Amino acid sequence: MINNLFEFYNNELTFYSQVTKENKTISNLILIIGIISFILFWYFFISQNQYLWAICGIIVFAIMFYILIWLNGKTIKRKFPEMYISPLKWNSNKFNELFIKKISARIKNETEQNLDLIQKQIKENAEKEKTSSVIIFTTFGALFIPLWSTYIAGLMGIFKEDLKFLTINFIVITLLILTLSFFSHSLIELRDNLLTNHKKWNGLNDLITEYRIRKNVG
């Protein structure tokens, strides 16, 4: 029951399943091209000491995420025109209403006692996934941070007398962080679909909770 309900949620009740998945192939291709291009531009920036390469890298990174969001907007305009606002904006509340309607049809015959048991199991599964994701990202951080620190220290050692280069390097890294922060929702969605189901289990639990509240209030 729980696994079937989760599969239903995964296939029918997420933005990814209804929109992003439609462009999975081209989105993955864009991600690969964008990341490889950024790495190449960054390499040219370091090896040739030409600031234009760094700027190009940031622009490519931003364009990559812009295209990914635009593809979602295009899919929404085709599949859910009533939710479409602009190429980069849509009505998230209407998506939530659609998902509530679908989950209601799925669990409307369940008793309150069964729903309590279902949500209890969902919370336990979410906690297991959370523990797994914490281990994954802790391990990644433990391996990546020393490498990144060594890389930055190496750059400063090589160009320690070139204040202009270090300043530009700092600005580029800051812009990269800001770009990643601006598109953090897309990155979180990508992470959740690749590495963990924690957010999905919580999302399913939230939908059931909202359904029960509306049922009791109504």
- Give the 3-state secondary structure of residue 110: coil
Q: For residues 196-206, b (16+ Cβ closer than 10 Å) or e, as one string?
A: bbbbbbbbbbe
Q: Which two tokens stand for residue 210?
A: 């909202």
Instruction: Give pTM, 2 decimals.
Output: 0.71
Rounded to an integer, the average pLDDT of 95-105 is 93
Q: Which two tokens stand for residue 212?
A: 């029960």
- Asked if 88 and 73 touch (Cβ cutoff 8 Å), the reply is yes
* Separation between Cα atoms, residue 142 and residue 152, nearest integer Å: 16
pLDDT band of residue 188 (cuts 50, 70, 90) is low
Element (H, E) at 73: helix 51-79
What ranges do the domains of the chain cover? 2-217
* Separation between Cα atoms, residue 196 and residue 181, nearest integer Å: 20
- What pLDDT shows up at residue 119? 93
Rounded to an integer, the average pLDDT of 72-85 is 94
Percentage of residues in the chain with pLDDT exceeding 90? 31
- Highest-confidence range of 52-61, 76-85, 126-135, 193-202, by mean pLDDT? 76-85
- What pLDDT shows up at residue 130? 72
- What pLDDT shows up at residue 68? 87
pLDDT band of residue 193 (cuts 50, 70, 90) is low
The pLDDT tens digits for 9-67 are 999 999 989 998 888 889 888 888 888 888 888 778 777 767 778 778 878 878 888 89
> In the chain, which ranges are E strands?
84-86, 89-90
Q: 106 CB contacts (<8 Å, ≥6 apart)?
A: 5, 8
pLDDT band of residue 195 (cuts 50, 70, 90) is low
Q: Is the pLDDT of residue 209 over 70?
A: yes
